[in-house]
Amino acid sequence: MSFIFIGLLYMFKTIKAKQCTLILITAVGLVGASQSAFAHTRLKTPVVNENAANHGSDYNAAVVGHGCTNPTTKVVDLTVIGTIVVFPDGKDSIITVDGAPHTGSLTDFVTNWGSPVTKIQDRSIFDHEDYIKDSLGNKLGFWTGGGSGLKGGFRALVPFATAGVVIEPTSCAKSVTFVPGIADICEITDAAGFSDSTVNVWAPAVGSIYDNPAAHGYDSPATLTVNRSIAPLPASCGAGVDVVVKPSATQLNRDLRINFNGSQIWPAE
Ligand SMILES: [Cu+2]
């Protein structure tokens, strides 16, 4: 921001006032656009390196950038009462290589994906939290909710760590991007009640019950990119490829939900 300001001051000094007004308006427009693009939920640190250390992990947080949409004012300031983050399980995940579908498995590119998330205990925003695990006990994500929640106009950092990711050394992957499904819940409803005023869903559009083309965060998910940083690319790979891993619709329908004391509380059944 200060860089842009200095740039504007420089322009004011060096060009005629009339032209400058036009540039100022353009620049303010651009700043406004980029802010709204980044207002969506993301991870605090969206790009990390490989991490092969024993018990390696990268400390991160899910950003709750804003609340749900007030139907009267259209301002995104409704209180968030809970949030849920689920990473692709790597079993039936949707994998693309430079945008083209990949029919092989995640182990073609990543050697150690299994239990990607450790929640960092934190009750500063919500009172309760727990893991979302697969049938083998792997921690694929977490939810946190309850208490007074996230007041409109404020942001939240929901802290967690991701396990160190090791890219398959013989593969041509120069990066692997994992796409979590995230929901910031403002009102507990069933799936039919999802709207911008009840929940912000930030999930890839993969055909799950969370797809809603009219919704604020539709197909606008957060991402975690792991850049190759340990084994060099094999010479035969050329520039290397970018791999993207999204959860399947089956996984989102199964795992992007909150169970509490043995019963499902979101979405309501
Ligand atoms: Cu937004």
- Tens-digit pLDDT profile for residues 58-89: 999 999 999 999 999 999 999 999 999 999 99
Distance (angstroms) between ligand 1 centre and the Cα of 40 equals 4
Ligand 1 centroid – CA 68 distance (Å) = 9
> Distance from the CA of 176 to the center of ligand 1, in angstroms?
25
Compute the distance from residue 220 Cα to the ligand 1 centre, in Å.
Answer: 9
Q: What angle, rounded to 10 degrees, do the helices at 2-14 and 17-38 form?
A: 170
Say how many Å lie between the CA of residue 264 and the centre of ligand 1: 27
244-253: average pLDDT: 98
Distance in Å, CA 202 to ligand 1 centroid: 9
How far is the centre of ligand 1, averaged over its atoms, from the C-alpha of 76 (Å)? 8
What per-residue confidence (pLDDT) applies to 179?
98
Q: Which residues pair with 224 in a beta bridge?
A: 178
What is the structure's pLDDT at 55?
79
Q: State the average pLDDT over residues 44-68.
A: 94
pLDDT at 184: 97
How many angstroms does the Cα of residue 69 sit away from the middle of ligand 1? Answer: 9
Q: Name the least confident of 14-28, 47-61, 101-115, 189-203.
A: 14-28
User: Residue 54 — pLDDT band, cuts 50, 70, 90?
Assistant: confident
Cα(118) to ligand 1 centroid in Å equals 26
Buried residues in 103-116 as b, exposed as e (16+ CB within 10 A): eeebebbbebbbbb
**Cβ(27)–Cβ(5) below 8 Å:** no
Ligand 1 centre to CA of 64 (Å) is 9
pLDDT value for 15: 37
Q: How far is the CA of 52 from the centre of ligand 1 (A)?
A: 34
Distance from residue 190's CA to the centre of ligand 1 (Å): 22
Which residue ranges make up each domain of the chain? 1-38, 40-266
Query: For the residues 212-221, what does the mean pLDDT come to?
Result: 94
Residue 31 has pLDDT above 70, yes or no: no
User: How many angstroms separate the alpha carbon of residue 6 from the centre of ligand 1?
Assistant: 28
Residue 221 near residue 204, CB atoms below 8 Å: yes
pLDDT given at position 1: 34
Identify the CA nearest to 114 among candidates 162, 67, 148. 162
CA of 186 to the centre of ligand 1 (A): 14
Please check the confidence at residue 95 and state whether its pLDDT lies above 80. yes
- Average pLDDT rounded to a whole number, residues 101-118: 97
Provide the pLDDT for residue 79: 98
pLDDT band at 34 (very low <50, low <70, confident <90, very high): very low
For the segment 227-245, what is each residue's pLDDT rounded down to a tens digit?
999 999 999 999 999 999 9
Positive or negative CA dihedral for 153, 44, 244, 178?
Answer: negative
6 band by pLDDT with thresholds 50, 70 and 90: very low
139-150 and 156-163 beta bridge pairing: unpaired
Residue 32 pLDDT exceeds 60: no
Q: How far does residue 53's CA lie from ligand 1's centre (Å)?
A: 35
40-266 belongs to CATH 2.60.40.2230: yes
Backbone angles phi, psi at 199, to 5 degrees: -160, 140
Kindly give the distance from the C-alpha atom of residue 213 to the centroid of ligand 1, in angstroms, as a whole number.
14
Mean pLDDT score across all residues of the chain: 88
Cα(66) to ligand 1 centroid in Å equals 7
Looking at the chain, the whole-number percentage of residues with pLDDT higher than 70 is 85
Tell how far the Cα of 201 is from the centroid of ligand 1, in angstroms. Answer: 10
Å from CA of 173 to ligand 1 middle: 31
Q: How far is the CA of 115 from the centre of ligand 1 (A)?
A: 29
